Amino acid sequence: PRHKCGNQKSCPQNYFAFKIISGAANVVGPSICFEDLVLMSSVKNNIGRGLNIALVNGTSGQLLKTDAFDMYSG
């Protein structure tokens, strides 16, 4: 069976499924999947260099904000 975000198994009841994939230099971009919805990826063109962050409400699972913190330029 297919599991949310391509995980190997389903999450327990009352838990959110997520998957974070790190990028590889400027060859492969990072991605963040939450509850089977890709929040950030190079395809969506909303990632940046450095730390990519998705802020999600821990109770409802609603996406609040996405952003990147550039570790290189400060």
List the domain boundaries for the chain: 4-69
- 25-36 per-position pLDDT tens digit: 777 889 999 999
More confident residue, 72 or 37: 37
Dihedral over Cα of 6, 52, 15, 44: its sign:
negative
pLDDT at 10 > cutoff 80? yes
Taking a C-beta distance cutoff of 8 angstroms, is the pair 32, 48 a contact? no
Q: Supply the mean pLDDT for the chain.
A: 91
Q: What is the pLDDT of residue 73?
A: 77
Give pTM, 2 decimals.
0.85
- Residue 53 has which token pair? 């962050």
